[in-house]
Each structure stands twice: as C-alpha cells, then as structure tokens.
Amino acid sequence: MADKFGLTVRKNENFSEWYQQLCLEQGAHLADLRYGVQGFLVLRPYGFQLVRKIYELFEHAIEEDNHEPMLFPSVIPEENLQREKEHAGFVPEVFWITEAGSEKMERKVALRPTGEAAIYPMYSLWVRSYKDLPFKRYQSRITVFRNEMTTRPFLRGREFSFFETHDVFQTHDSALSQIKTDLSIMKEVIENKLMIPFYFFKRPKWDRFKGAEDTFVSDTIMPDGKRLQISSTHDLGTRFAEAYNVRFKDADGTDKAAYQTCFGPGIFRIVASLISIHGDDTGLVLPSIMAPLKVVIVPIIFTDKPDKNKLVTDFCRKLEKKMKELGITAKFDDGEQSPGYKFNQWEMMGVPIRLEVGPKEVEANTVTLVRRTARQKIKVEFTKLADEIHQQLKLMDDDIKAKALTYFTDNTKDATTMTELIDVLQTHRGFVKVPFCSVDLDGEKCADVIKAETAGAIVCGTRYPEEEKVTRGAKCIVCKKQAKHIVYTAKTY
C-alpha cells in the first residue's frame, strides 16, 4: 500500500474517474495500467481472482450443459480469417505476427480476434455424422486481441479475457433452443450469483456479429446510464458451415451443412459491471460468492495497554482458526497500521464481513461484527458466530441485489415520440422503450436518426424470447409508419 490510497471522487458525481481510481493503485488494486503498451492490462491478484471466479462459474454451468473443454492456438492463418465474407470484417482490427527472430515469416498469422476462424476448420474434420450432433465445445481462460482505438480497464482493451462456446446442430430449431439455454446460463451466473440485472435482446439486423444470421445479447446499465453488453450468442445459421465446410451425413444419408451457434459472456465486461454497479464511495462491494476473502479480523490494539495486546492477538488467532474450520476464508490482519486504516483498506476491497476484537471483546468472549453494506456494529457471542456470519452474508447479498434491481428498474422508461425520448434521456439514465418501424435492415435509417437527435442513443433491440407487444395504432417515433416493435434505446460504450 505504498501508493496514495483512497478514492477522491464520488461515484454519482464522476463515475468515470471513480471507476478508474477503484480499479487502480488508489483503489482496490485490481489492475495496473503502467505496463507500457496501450490497452494491455496487468491483472493484480485481487482483480485476477475476480476474473477467475467468473470463469469458474461459467465453466461449471457450461459443462452442466454438456459442453466439453478444448484449447486452440492463439494464432490464425490469414486465409482462414477471410473464408466467411462478412466475418472477414474483423481483419482491420487484427494484430499480425510477421517476423520470427530476425526473419520475415513466409506467411503472416493473425492473433485471434475471436475463435470462429480458428475453430471451424477443425470442426470440419471432427463432425461427420448426425450421430455426432449436437456437438458442443468451449474454451475458457484464453485471451483475444483487437486493435481498439480507445481503451479503459476491463471495458475495452487490446487483449482481453475470453470465454466462448461453439456448438453444432442438426437443425435450426436445436440451434435456436441453445440460445434459450445460453440465456438461462446467464440468468444463473449473472443475475442469481453476481446479482447484475440485465435484459436479453435480439439485436437489430444491422447490428449483428460479422457473419451471423442473428445476434442475441445481455445488456445491463452502468452507473452513468450507458448500456453495457455483457454476453452474446450468435445464430450463425449455416453460413459459417458453408464457408468452413462443417458438414454432416444426415440420418437419410444426405450431406448437409450444419447449423451453428456460439456464445460468449464478456468476462472483462462482467468484471466492469460487477465493480461499477455494486461498488460505492468507499470501494468495492462484492456478492459473497465473488469475494476472495469473506471475513477480515482486525485487532483493536491500544499501545498503552501492552498486557492486553497479547490476549487480543491470541483471541484473533483462535477466531481465524475457527473460520478455517468452518470453511470460511478469513484473514487476520496483524499489520502495523492503525485499525482505522485497516477498516478503510478492507472496505475498499469489498470484504463482506469485518470482525473487530479489542480487550472488551476478549473479556466478554464476543466479537464486534460489521457487514460491508450496513455500517452498524453488532456484538456477537463467540459460540453463535458461525450462524451469524452466514446470516449476515445472506443479508448483504439481499442488500446488493435489491439496490441493483432498483437502479435497473428505475432506469427503464417509456417514450412514444422523439421529443419525449430526447426529454427522458436528458433527465434519466438507462433504457428507454419506444415504438419502432423495423428491426430488419430497412430500420437502420430510423435508428440513425435516433442516434443523431439524442446525441448517441442506439437501438439495442427487442426483448427475447418474449417480445413486447406494440400498442394498437402505435407509430415509429422516427418515420411515423406503423410500429412493428417495441425497441429499447440507450446510450452506449
């Protein structure tokens, strides 16, 4: 903690600066931007542990859904990246390896911007028969590389943590059914465990993944009111199968191109939303499942009472041992700093429960417990501690969930005219639902008008799988034609 420590701005007053401070040396030491290559982030232990835990949750959920793990090279031959015509749109963002040692390479290779062009040529060797289908695999704990112009920790980087499934199906219906399964995985991990509320949208056709038939996403709202995409599932139809030759012999003996989907939760983006949505002016607030450390034990030592200090320290060690026996990750902070400094530090790190032990607590065989989301101090008898900690962790999770959900719900509004939309976007943050003409390619020009008139709000899409019904007679807020959809608009990153 040799750096200047403590946040100097409030989340509600300057979110952008608050976020940056919380990520870096002044805050929770999640990451370091001083690596010396723009957009390449160093993950420090606490930040890495958040990333790892999110990976673990997805790995568990996706293996329950019968996906097998695999690992592909980080490089992609140039010609493979060009095989699907629209997908080749990634090329301008790609980093190229052109030299080995002091020699120019015969064929340059790309650092993968995403997995499709690496993986599908191998799928064409592995998938042979309808009996192989569905064929569901994933890779996790890898990074991908894109030459982004502007970068911010976890929100946009040139190398970032990646997780991707790649599934192959016999029919389009099975592919569409996987999209709903991916949604249920997002609900389980993101909504239930990380307590981040989100909407699941079908994107307008003009905003699909390069090469996909359709793109389905999870969008949440950040504290500055901007929407953040935190997952996508792409319905690739048979387009990639045609381009990469992923074909199978069907039950009737005919040779067919396979239907494919791929799903990717944005691991770094999820970290960004986790720390932004739950955090407060004193630092991180973490759902109990995410906290690397559940409990910190802080001794209250008085320099003028040295005889008492050993009793306090012994009691703290006993406490630490008890936590270990209970399977609760805990740390006894016996550092030299003052109790006040330690309180600030562990609040910054979002440790859910602080136990304070001074001479009084030792005498009474109690501890003083403070939960991260409620500042009052509670006296707890040593023998009742296990129950109380579990109870307090649950209360904390409830606090976090309620606060996040309230913010999310309060920031979803309606508008029926452009004037109303502009007005709502000036006074509030988040999503505004509006009637809209078309989410096919012909709707893009109306979306462009919205973007221009609102200084940046985009059409995020329609709710999926249950699309909201348009009121009879409602008109598109731009072209005034019959509205066919309720679309969600929002400013974005």
Residues that bind a second copy (CB under 8 A): 2, 32, 34-37, 40-45, 48-49, 51-52, 68-75, 77, 80, 91-102, 108-109, 111, 118, 121-122, 125, 128-129, 137, 141, 143, 145, 147, 159, 161
- Single-letter amino acid, residue 117: A
Q: Between 243 and 385, name the residue whose CB sits nearer to a second copy.
A: 243
Q: How far is the CB of 91 from a second copy (least distance, A)?
A: 7
Q: Between 52 and 403, name the residue whose CB sits nearer to a second copy.
A: 52
Q: Between 270 and 460, name the residue whose CB sits nearer to a second copy.
A: 270
Tokens of 131: 């009996």
Q: How far is the CB of 155 from a second copy (least distance, A)?
A: 17
Closest CA to 279 of 24, 14, 18: 18
Q: How far is the CB of 23 from a second copy (least distance, A)?
A: 14
Q: How far is the CB of 110 from a second copy (least distance, A)?
A: 10
Secondary structure letter of residue 442 according to DSSP: G
Q: Between 75 and 289, name the residue whose CB sits nearer to a second copy.
A: 75
Query: Sheet containing 159-169: which strands, arranged edge to edge?
Result: 68-69, 135-145, 159-169, 259-265, 227-237, 214-221, 199-202, 458-463, 485-490, 431-436, 412-414
Radius of gyration over every alpha carbon of the chain, rounded to an integer in angstroms: 26
Q: Between 2 and 473, name the residue whose CB sits nearer to a second copy.
A: 2
Q: Between 135 and 436, name the residue whose CB sits nearer to a second copy.
A: 135
Using the structure block, give the residue that is written with the tokens 């909201």: 468
Alpha-helical (H) ranges within 349-384 are 359-364
Chain centre distance of CA 234: 17
Q: How far is the CB of 24 from a second copy (least distance, A)?
A: 12
Q: Between 9 and 122, name the residue whose CB sits nearer to a second copy.
A: 122
Q: How far is the CB of 327 from a second copy (least distance, A)?
A: 16
State how far the Cα of 424 lies from the Cα of 488, in Å rounded to an integer: 13
Q: How far is the CB of 431 from a second copy (least distance, A)?
A: 33
Cα three-residue angle 413-414-417, rounded to 5 degrees: 140
Tokens of 262: 């791929």
DSSP assignment of 277-315 equals: HH-BTTB----GGG-S-SEEEEE---TT-HHHHHHHHHH
